[in-house]
């Protein structure tokens, strides 16, 4: 884990991958060492994000991390709460600042995807300061966006493989069933 610099000097290690009219924006906590090194989201060899997108029908084939900038073509965006920090274990990150949360929520409200999907309950907790009431679809919205929580795509969450894929498929189904 790296210690962040003062707020005004922080340099984001990954860019936002956002565009107007997205179906879903996936929110992570902080880049892994590999993601920060390569400049691409979910680049770690044990991270299942790209596989989950493909297996649940978000993408027609399994994309590589180097293709992350193409995700808006599939209605998908990516961002993170603490894109300036590096961590492979969210529990070891420093608490996010109110500025971190405010910046994230302002961005999510501005882009207003149909869904905001938190990549792990710990990410939801870091963003909202409280535990997610459940996995999957939440009743409370964020601006115009519905909120959804999936098991982390990290290899550390492989014990939840079937449940994790179920939640990604359920989110894809909700997007397919609802009118835009």
Percent of the chain topping pLDDT 70: 91
Has residue 7 got a pLDDT over 60? no
Instruction: Quote the pLDDT of residue 6.
Output: 47
pLDDT in tens, 15-49: 999 999 999 999 998 888 899 899 999 998 889 99
Least confident of 61-75, 79-93, 123-137: 79-93
Instruction: Quote the pLDDT of residue 122.
Output: 93
Instruction: Quote the pLDDT of residue 178.
Output: 73
What DSSP element (H or E) covers 76? strand 76-80
Instruction: Quote the pLDDT of residue 8.
Output: 46
Instruction: Quote the pLDDT of residue 102.
Output: 95
Question: Measured between alpha carbons, how far is 93 from 33 in angstroms, rounded to an integer?
Answer: 13
| Residue 18: C-alpha distances to residues 12, 14, 23, 80 (Å) | 15, 12, 11, 11
DSSP, collapsed to helix, strand or coil, labels residue 147 as strand
Has residue 12 got a pLDDT over 60? yes
pLDDT in tens, 75-84: 999 999 988 8
- Name which CATH class applies to 7-177: alpha beta
pTM, two decimals, is 0.90
Q: DSSP letter at 157?
A: G
Chain mean pLDDT for the chain:
90
Helices 121-128 and 98-111 meet at what angle, rounded to 10? 110
């Amino acid at each position: 884990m790296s210690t962040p610099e003062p707020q005004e000097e922080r340099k984001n290690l990954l860019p936002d991958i956002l565009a107007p009219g997205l179906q879903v924006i996936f929110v992570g906590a902080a880049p892994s060492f590999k993601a920060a090194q390569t400049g691409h989201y979910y680049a770690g060899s044990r991270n299942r994000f790209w596989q989950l997108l493909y297996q649940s029908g978000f993408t027609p084939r399994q994309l590589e991390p180097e293709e992350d900038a193409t995700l808006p073509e599939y209605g998908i965006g990516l961002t993170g709460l603490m894109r300036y920090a590096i961590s492979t274990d969210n529990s070891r990150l420093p608490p996010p600042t109110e500025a971190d949360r405010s910046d994230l929520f302002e961005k999510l409200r501005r882009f207003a995807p149909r869904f905001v999907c938190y990549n792990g309950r710990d990410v939801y907790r870091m963003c909202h300061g409280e535990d997610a009431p459940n996995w999957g679809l939440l009743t409370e919205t964020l601006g115009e966006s519905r909120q959804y929580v999936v098991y982390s795509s990290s290899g550390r969450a492989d014990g939840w493989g079937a449940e994790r894929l179920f939640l990604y498929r359920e989110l894809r189904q909700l997007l397919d069933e609802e009118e835009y």
